[in-house]
Amino acid sequence: MKRKSFSKSNLKIPVTVKSKKRKIKLFLIGGALLFALLIIFLIFLAQDLPSLDQLEHYDPELATKIYSRDGVVLARQLHLNLQKTMVRKLREMLTAIQIERTYTKPEILEMYLNHMYFGHGAYGVQAAAQKFFNKNASELNLVECAMLTGILQRPGAYSPYRKPEIVTSRRNVVLHNMLTQGYITEEEFNASKLEPLKVEELNQVEEFGIAPYFTEHIRQKLQETYQMDLYTSGLNVYTTLDSRVQACADSAVASHLNTIQSRFNKKLISSGNIKALLPDSLLKTTSFSKLKRSHAALLDSIASEKFKIQVALVALDPRNGEILALIGGRNFEESKYNRAIQMRTRQPGSTFKPIVYTAAIDNGYSPSFELLNQPVVLYLPNGDRWAPHNYDHSQGGPTSLRDALRRSLNLVTARLVLEIVPPKTIVDYARKLGLTTDLPMVDAIALGSGSVAPIEMTAAFGVFANQGILTTPIFINQIVDKLGNIVEEHHPEVREVLRKETAYIMADMMQSVLSPGGTAYSARSVYNFQAPAGGKTGTTNDFTDAWFIGFSKYIVAGVWIGFDDPAKSLGNGMSGSVAALPIWAKFMKAAHDSLNLPKTPFMMPPGVVKVEICKETKKLATEFCPDIVYEVFKTPDAPTQTCEKHTGFTTKSKRNSRGRTRF
């Protein structure tokens, strides 16, 4: 057959039989390929579809679990993938078809309500009924059912705790729809829409898990270090935290923080300073004295809201650095800021003094070495001159280093820096002990003019309990993936930063702080914590920060109390021994009792001796010395001469009436 040619104006092209067959063949091949691709795609869609049994017995996936070292689940990070991809939509369509072919509409609704997420960790209507109303789903009334229905669309946005007004509005929309559909009467609608929103108080432990500041720190570290997504990675994270110790910390903080908040509120109200927080319209219509009588609860609530006293507590095992308990603030929901770890700009006050005394002891001075308890002038970081005073404004004569630390005498400590250990030496020792914050090399460093982080200060005190060994704080022991493979295993990082002799002498001196006459004696006399322990109180100028850090052989714990705004004062008298020490003492006693820890004394290393000396002459005591004390020395520094002042029998009888004293 001849081909015909056509001009450009006539574009008709003849089709031969051969070309038709070729097109049909290509069409069939293309159709077969498309069909094959469609089958493959459908298989891909169907492979992850839930079974009917899974739909009936829905169990939300828990991608990552965080465990305490005693086996308690601290937190569960739910696997929530809310991204609506095309593949997911198609899978949902196939699942819906599968469900509709198998179940009736009431059965489908029941399954829906049994697995849908209602917010705040509640999966299913029964869990939601328990969470929000503390009752079974079968016991819910009309208003409660309407509220749950209203929050289903966006449970994250419609929280009855965070947005009660919006949830109330949503509830009333549901009630109105029920009215228009004829399910309730006009009378029922009018009565129900006026009911206030009533839900159970939010339980922070249930909402955020045990130790939320601790688990949030772990989440951040995993994402920063490994780019791991806790919502999809399926990890088992085994941490150092002990749930029993954490419970002791939570209890100690809750009981005492409420006490000091109440005390602060009363002072604020009685002084009249709270008037600055009240609206002018209220003060114009009602006298302040009347407000104090008739609206005491309101004023107390306003004070607590505007002046929230914050707290940080960190406890670790000084032997291996494992964090046992951690509290980063008074309420995790209100503030995620972790004051135990992230706060690095607050002054430590007198809790810094042990570092100053460590520099002296490590360089040949003994606890019995004396300095004058008299006024001095120091230089501040800005160059200004400062004349500090003792907390009680006392002065005196020669005072031993032990007694100065026991009583927290600022004048003796300041003189120690001026005459014995310069600021650079002190900062060097602080760095040895693990402090990385800003520490100015000025005289005022003696009294804690630098900035510190609670976790670093607490770990530093652990050196005294651990024979001069610094253990870097650790949070995680082991990470295991969903296949059982060990992703990471942590071991304590340790290094010797002090000689054993220095560490022991400092621990011994710091035990004096908890002895009669010491600033922390109430830990023994009031709170009955009797295990061998040492520590140090701390209070900054104008009572803006209150500290106590202390240790036993097994636990070192630090407590900070203050406002987030460093310009705000806790109030006169709110020292470390009043605001922070009670929390520490309650916690330490409860933790030692809970773990059944023995009352183990600190082990005296070779190179240290304990001798009886005359308190007056600092020489070896004789039987005639009127006041004898036991003191510890490095062996080369121990006194060798005997007291020559007290030799008569007259003083012997006086000495027998006083006996030996242990500081």
Whether residue 628 contacts residue 639, with contact meaning beta carbons closer than 8 Å, is answered with: no
User: Model-level pTM?
Assistant: 0.74
Is residue 5 one of the residues assigned to a domain? no
The candidate with the shortest Cα–Cα distance to 66, out of 58, 76, 52, is 76
| CATH number of the domain residue 467 falls in | 3.40.710.10
Residues 639 and 558 in one domain: no
The candidate with the shortest Cα–Cα distance to 269, out of 248, 295, 236, 246, is 295
Report the chain's C-alpha Rg in angstroms: 36
Interatomic CA distance for residues 278 and 269, integer angstroms: 11
Residues 574 and 656 in one domain: no
Is residue 229 one of the residues assigned to a domain? no
CA atoms within 13 A on the CB side of 217: 25
Residues 319 and 172 in one domain: no
Residues 143 and 192 in one domain: yes
Residues 362 and 431 in one domain: yes
The per-residue pLDDT for 131 is 85
112 backbone dihedrals φ, ψ, rounded to 5°: -60, -50
Is residue 452 one of the residues assigned to a domain? yes
Query: What is the crossing angle of helices 142-151 and 125-133, to 10°?
Result: 110
11 contacts: CB under 8 Å, gap ≥ 6:
none
Residues 581 and 613 in one domain: no
Strands, E assignment, 425-582: 469-471, 476-480, 486-489, 494-496, 534-539, 545-551, 556-562
The per-residue pLDDT for 1 is 45
User: What single string gives the DSSP state of each residue in 379-438?
Assistant: E-TTS-EE----TT----SEEEHHHHHHHT-HHHHHHHHHHTS-HHHHHHHHHHTT--S-
Task: Give SS3 for 612.
Answer: strand
Residues 342 and 473 in one domain: yes
Is residue 16 one of the residues assigned to a domain? no
Residues 196 and 344 in one domain: no
Residues 551 and 622 in one domain: no
Number of structural domains in the chain? 3
Whether residue 162 contacts residue 229, with contact meaning beta carbons closer than 8 Å, is answered with: no
| CATH number of the domain residue 195 falls in | 1.10.3810.10
412 contacts: CB under 8 Å, gap ≥ 6:
371, 372, 373, 399, 401, 404
| Domain finish residue from 172, 205, 238 | 205
Whether residue 338 contacts residue 323, with contact meaning beta carbons closer than 8 Å, is answered with: no
593 backbone dihedrals φ, ψ, rounded to 5°: -70, -40
Whether residue 540 contacts residue 497, with contact meaning beta carbons closer than 8 Å, is answered with: no
Whether residue 413 contacts residue 446, with contact meaning beta carbons closer than 8 Å, is answered with: yes
| Domain finish residue from 545, 564, 595 | 595
| Domain finish residue from 541, 570, 595 | 595
Task: Give SS3 for 250.
Answer: helix
Interatomic CA distance for residues 458 and 453, integer angstroms: 9
Is residue 429 one of the residues assigned to a domain? yes
Residues 191 and 318 in one domain: no
102 contacts: CB under 8 Å, gap ≥ 6:
52
549 backbone dihedrals φ, ψ, rounded to 5°: -125, 130
- Strands 660-662 and 628-634: what pairing? parallel
Interatomic CA distance for residues 34 and 42, integer angstroms: 12
C-alpha pair distances (Å), 243 with each of 119, 316, 624: 26, 13, 55
- Strands 608-614 and 628-634: what pairing? antiparallel
Interatomic CA distance for residues 233 and 488, integer angstroms: 14
Residues 510 and 634 in one domain: no
Q: Can you list the residues of the chain whose pLDDT is less than 50?
A: 1-13, 45, 49, 58-62, 77-84, 650-663
Give start and end residues of each alpha helix (H) in 271-295: 280-285, 288-294
- Structural domain boundaries enclosing 367: 310-595
Provide long-range contacts, Cβ within 8 A and 24+ apart, for 488-491.
none
Encode burial over 92-118: b for 16+ CB neighbours within 10 A, e otherwise. Answer: eeebeebbeeebeeeeeeebebbbbbb
Encode burial over 119-152: b for 16+ CB neighbours within 10 A, e otherwise. Answer: bbbbbbbebbbebbbeeebeebebbbbbbbbbbb
Whether residue 355 contacts residue 460, with contact meaning beta carbons closer than 8 Å, is answered with: yes
Please classify residue 325 by burial: count the beta carbons closer than 10 Å to its beta carbon, then call 0-12 exposed, 13-18 middle and 19+ buried: buried
Is residue 481 one of the residues assigned to a domain? yes
Residues 328 and 448 in one domain: yes
Is residue 343 one of the residues assigned to a domain? yes
User: How many other CB atoms are there within 10 angstroms of residue 377's CB atom?
Assistant: 11
Is residue 33 one of the residues assigned to a domain? no
Task: Give SS3 for 547.
Answer: strand
